[in-house]
Amino acid sequence: MKVEVSSNFKKYAKKTVFFIFVFALTYLFLLALAVSLTLGFTFAGIWIFMAKPMFYTAVLCLGLFASGLSILFFLVKFIFASTKIDIGHLTEITQKDEPQLFALIHEVVNEVKTSFPKKVFLSYEVNASVFYNSNFWSMFLPIRKNLQIGVGLINAVTHQELKAILAHEFGHFSQRSMKVGSYVYHVNQIIYNMLYKNESLDRMFEKWGNVTGYATIFIGISVFIIQKIQSILKKLYEYININYMALSREMEFHADEIAANVAGSQALADSLLRLSLANHAMEGVLNFYEQKINVNVRSENIYLEHHYAMNFLAKKNNYLIENDLPQIQIATLKKYNKSKLNLENQWATHPSEEDRVQALLNLNIVKSDIINTPAINLLSNNAAIALHISNKLFSSIQYTENPTVFPIEMFKTSYSEIVNKYTFDSIFNNFYDHNNPSVEGPPLKFENNSVSKFEELFSDQWLDEIYILIALRNDKATIEAIHTNMLEVKTFDYDGVRYLASESDQILRRIDNEISDIENKIKKNNCLVYHYFFQLAKEQETEVLFEQLYYDFASYQKSFDSKQKLYQEFIENTRFIFETTPFAEIEAKFSDLKRREIELKCELKKLLEQPGITKDLNEENLNSLNRYLSNDLMYFNFDQYQDENLEVLFNAITNYNHLLEENHFFKKNEFLQIMLTLQENNLKKTNNL
């Protein structure tokens, strides 16, 4: 099979190779200077010592030699460096273990015309990749790659889709045209290693400094010269890396085209559209069992639960289910993404899912011999390996006693209860997922005959308005970053028109007007909703309760933003703890933090007094919160952080935000529940007429 690379691929490959060539020339020039400097330092040191042999000149001689040698070592250390992939979490399988899976791999390898992987590994993840250990010589010597396939991925795709995914992975290495990409990858890794991975050099300086205090002078000389060399090479590396990222994105499109030729466009497109949901479902299952660690409960087979969670979430979102797997359309992606801003992420290694899927559908390569059975059926012995991978995953967790297995039926009940607990009733058509049923000030008044029908108040049109508003706010934040030079770009596309970065202010004014218009529309609809349900409440003689719950939530919502701002302030004001900060500045920052703690503790106490708010907190969290609220903890003493107390502080900050959002959800849902009851009663009354 031969698939021609795109013109963009050729363009970025040429640009990247050009910048590598410039970098190489600059590097060789600096290397020659370093060699000259080392020889110069050495001869100068020897000449000084020979002129006046004594202890201090001997130290000077050795120091100059070591300083020159360390600069030279910085420039050549990448030759000795290697990258080794940790495979501790992986499980190696053979053809004897999994004959059907290996048969599929052989089939793909033959069609793509590449070499069979050196080894095949399984992981628990929803992912697949080709990997290998590499070093400087990897550019020149052929290396057999290993294949890693996540059982979570196999669990989320059909036979045909898995074939497409494997073809994509092998497609990266299958053709001569792609070798430039592989070469550039190695060069990029080498340059990165030279510029940013300096642990060995730091250790050498540390040992050198421990020998004698005089070494500090020569270490300072070495570090100064190395930093100057780094500043030159880093500037060149930026150009290499930006072009490499662009080349990587083109390589993804190319590998997708190879996969489409092997398994068809639709197979890879369907899997790409589903994998985000599959990952979300896997995270949900793992989070579920993370909450069960303190009660010593684990899963027997997370893939049965992963499959259930995937389809459960699909049904809640009204996705079609075929071949026992969710089918997600590209229109769904477009439904949630209403952005008008087209800004190429120059640091992204992959194109967006939407761009990849659209490119695949444009290819429209159709295959007739499609196998749409679940890929998990390829695993032998009723997927015994899935049990093994599950056991391996949970064996890494430290339980206080032997954990018990959670039955699958109990998982289904518990998981669905948790998801439903934090989901508003489907009757509202997701209108309140990103919108609150309240407005600033009293709701607008309408004549009875101007109130819309229930279906009109919660139509897809209003849902689109919500997503447009979200997109506008996100676009505004990005363009503000361009306007303040936090995001450096020369041009950007907005609503199909190209603009210079200097024109961002006029786009910001336009977006502000659009945001204001949509916010007013949504506010008017929120007022119509209020009026609609107030009329129902009057008819059902519950208007007092209705208004009480409305204003209770509206009052809480008004203070919610300021309460969240307190959380953001604590996140921002504790950032210095993870940075190198002078002792005096640390003391000053903690002094400011202590003053703000009074408000945090007050708000935390109010939240903990809310009925039922703590039932989802485990004993460890509650004890930590009680310790925080009951004590005046010291976080820094003389020259050391008090790690145990800091852990209590960060736990308090995290739980404050969690409890704040949970309380907001329950107050909101409490008001929506009375709206739901009013509508149900109204429907019953209408049906009985």
Handedness of CA 507, 513, 518, 523 (dihedral sign): positive
Closest CA to 370 of 212, 458, 264, 239: 264
Q: How far is CA 671 from each of CA 420, 549, 654, rounded to the nearest angstrom?
A: 17, 6, 26
Cα 321 from Cα 323, distance rounded (Å): 7
At residue 649, the pLDDT reads: 95
Residues 187, 194: Cα–Cα separation, whole Å? 11
What gap in Å lies between CA 528 and CA 354, rounded to an integer? Answer: 36
In angstroms, the Cα distances linking 655 to 321, 526, 599, 682 are 37, 31, 15, 40
DSSP helix/strand/coil, 350: coil
Alpha-carbon separation of residue 314 from 79, 311, 386, 421, 467 (angstroms): 50, 5, 23, 17, 20
Half-sphere exposure of 489 (CA within 13 A, CB side): 22
pLDDT tens readout for residues 241-287: 777 778 888 888 989 999 999 999 999 999 999 999 999 999 999 99
d(CA 168, CA 351): 14
**Which of 397, 426, 435, 150 minimizes the C-alpha distance to 295?**
397
Distance CA 267, CA 216 (A): 62
**CA–CA separation, 270 vs 328, rounded Å?**
7
- Closest Cα to residue 312, out of 332, 286, 282, 287? 282
Quick one: pLDDT at residue 82?
Answer: 67
Contact between 586 and 576 (Cβ < 8 Å): yes
Q: Are 34 and 72 a contacting pair, CB within 8 Å?
A: yes
pTM above 0.85, yes or no: no
Tokens in use for 666? Answer: 């329950």
Residues contacting residue 456 through CB under 8 Å, at least 6 positions apart: none
Q: Hey, what are 355's tokens?
A: 């761009």
- CA gap 565, 586 in Å, rounded: 23
Residues 6+ apart with CB under 8 A from 514: 472
429: phi then psi, degrees, rounded to nearest 5: 55, 40
- Separation between Cα atoms, residue 29 and residue 37, nearest integer Å: 12
Q: What is the pLDDT of residue 201?
A: 60
Nearest of 139, 134, 23 to residue 81 by alpha carbon: 134
Give how far the C-alpha of residue 263 lies from the chain's centroid of Cα atoms, to the nearest Å.
29
pLDDT tens-digit map of 478-530: 999 999 988 878 888 899 888 998 999 999 999 999 999 999 999 999 999 99
Exposure b/e, 352-386, CB count within 10 A at least 16 = b: eeeebbbbbeebebebeeeeeebbbebbeeebebb
Cβ atoms of 45 and 63 closer than 8 Å: yes
Alpha carbon distances (Å) from 189 to 79, 138, 196:
12, 11, 10
Q: For residue 218, give the amino acid letter.
A: F
Provide the pairing of β-strand 91-93 with 120-123: antiparallel
Which of the residues in the chain have pLDDT under 70?
1-2, 5, 78-83, 134-142, 174-186, 198-216, 344-349, 444-451, 689
Rg (CA), the chain: 31
Give the separation between CA 570 and CA 522, rounded to whole angstroms. 32
Q: What pLDDT is attached to residue 487?
A: 82
Report the C-alpha gap between 466 and 468 in whole angstroms: 5
**Cβ-contact 121, 146 below 8 angstroms:** yes
